[in-house]
Amino acid sequence: MDLLIHDGKQNLTFAKMISMQRLKLFCLFALIPFSVFAQQPIARPKLVVGVVIDQMRWDYLYRYYDRYAPTGAFKRILNQGYSCENTMIPYAPTVTACGHSTIYTGSVPAISGITGNFWWDSQLQRTVYCTEDKSVNTVGSSSSQGKMSPANMFVNTIGDELRLATNFKGKVVGVAIKDRGGILPAGHSANAAYWYDNSTGAWITSTYYMNELPKWVSDFNGQKWVDKYYQQGWNLLYPSSTYMQSTADDKSYEAKPFGTGFPYTLSQFIGKDYGKIATTPMGNTLTSEFAKAAISNEQLGADAITDMITISYSSPDYIGHSFGPNSMEEEDNYLRLDKELGNLLDFLDAKVGKNQYTFFLSADHGVAHIPEFLKENKMPGGRLMMSDLMKNLNKSLNEVFAIPNMVLSDDNYQIHLNNRAIDSAKIEKKWVTGHILQFLEKQPAIARAFPLDQLNTVPLPATIRTMLNNGYYPSRNGDIQMILKPGYMDAWSNTGTTHGLWNPYDAHIPLLWYGWGIKQGKTNRETYMTDIAATLAAMLHIQMPNGCVGHTIPEVMK
């Protein structure tokens, strides 16, 4: 240090030495090709596997936990992966199309336009099905069940963004028994979406994606899987005495799609009714086998460019609607589904590679207890027979205003008025609205009803107001909103159950993460269905979908 301070020559010599060292380093780095830096790949998994269980309450993770297999999926993911324990749906109605679109878009019906499975379209003046598309045709059968596409969804998906980020080299494929469960998650630019034609027992698609089925799909259909499952029938996986989380078999308030009680003989449906398979656990097996065939034959996850497969298990919804969440059928379904998903994880480990894929599992909605089960156990609940309500409401309106069929639809817990007829008759809409509100307020199942144009002024808890706002798209929503009392549901029969309301039994869903890039642990912080796509975007280093309103869940990621 003294030399640097007192000796100018020494100081100058030292400075030259430093400069020479810097020059040598610069030359060394200059010799390294720029491409070495430019070609460092972004860290991504080989495959993203998105699984949606159609109708899974969050509490099913723990209600049957002690009975889940050590080699199954649920214990494996809960112990080795990450669980967002308090994931909520942030909109209403909580139904299938809205759930599947929201998970993969990070959007809400108010932006995506998917406001229900069906909705009354005020511009078209008719009921619209969420994935209907009359401009396309069925591929794989002669039925009309393939006239479907994602055209009614106004936003893109995380799969679309993956396609964009990889210059359309990454593949995206959707699979589900339900068309909406296969189409909406896969997005607009998907390489394919496949769903089940219950009139033929075959997997089909539409000309939106392709003009003929790939050979592997035709070969899969040729194996007549459903006939084999029907031959097996449906019996309980374990002795009936071990089903301690269920009511007795064959309760009067359960539907009877196959007759009464276990074991269910299904051989009578061979070659006659291919729809019944969806209301059995074999529908899950059929879905898994087709998904595995898609992964193998489309070579998903086979190279360094990330692919995605979206798999929706539709059968839990059919089973849940028919038998309810406290049935032996539901318990058996989830014990079998746990093993089914465990086999899927084993397949992914072998085919793609352990920790080479990112796997997440969620649900599109939950489900309400069967009202008669609640009453049986001294809890409040009931059915609102919606068809009778609408019939009586229209009769009352006609008596007062002399206009028949003033209510056009009751889709998604909303009254859709025949506004054209009201305007033509020069009747003040407020008089019609007032009459309807008085009528609805007398119904014991209805907690409140109000005009939707007053949504942000009527007294409502903030959670419910936000959910209804997030579900509102003007041309696809109605004039009057109905909110049912907790435990009550709209119904079309005296058996079974449904979903669609704001309540936690419909809106609290599981969210599990596993595999590449995932930490081990859990959070009880409130997260939302809309956060799934945002989190995937962060993990994959790609843009969020263009209608995403969710937020990244940082706890999940390594």
Residue identified by tokens 């967002």 is 84
Question: What one-character DSSP code corresponds to residue 416?
Answer: E
Question: What span, in angstroms and rounded, lies between the C-alpha atoms of 8 and 13?
Answer: 9
Question: What one-character DSSP code corresponds to residue 370?
Answer: P
Question: What span, in angstroms and rounded, lies between the C-alpha atoms of 84 and 65?
Answer: 16
Question: What one-character DSSP code corresponds to residue 349?
Answer: I
Question: What span, in angstroms and rounded, lies between the C-alpha atoms of 424 and 154?
Answer: 32
- The answer to whether the beta carbons of residues 550 and 88 sit under 8 Å apart is no
The backbone region for 125, taken as left when phi is positive above 0, alpha when psi lies in -120 to 50, beta otherwise, is: left
Helices (H) and strands (E) in the chain, counts: 21, 19
For residue 239, is the peptide bond before it cis, meaning its omega torsion is within 30 degrees of 0? no
**3 state DSSP class of 163:** helix
- The answer to whether the beta carbons of residues 172 and 159 sit under 8 Å apart is yes
Q: List, by residue number, the catalytic residues.
A: 96
Beta bridge partners of 127: 120
Beta bridge partners of 364: none
Question: What one-character DSSP code corresponds to residue 264?
Answer: B
Nearest residue to 300 via CA among 251, 356, 253: 356
Question: What span, in angstroms and rounded, lies between the C-alpha atoms of 142 and 149?
Answer: 17
Neighbours of 10 (CB within 10 A): 13
Nearest residue to 375 via CA among 256, 464, 259, 494: 494
Q: How far is CA 215 from CA 138, 140, 179, 300, 555, in A?
A: 16, 11, 21, 17, 43
Question: What span, in angstroms and rounded, lies between the C-alpha atoms of 515 and 48?
Answer: 10
Question: What span, in angstroms and rounded, lies between the C-alpha atoms of 466 and 108?
Answer: 11
Residue count of the chain, please give it.
558
- The answer to whether the beta carbons of residues 530 and 550 sit under 8 Å apart is yes
The backbone region for 233, taken as left when phi is positive above 0, alpha when psi lies in -120 to 50, beta otherwise, is: left
- 38's enclosing H/E stretch is helix 34-38
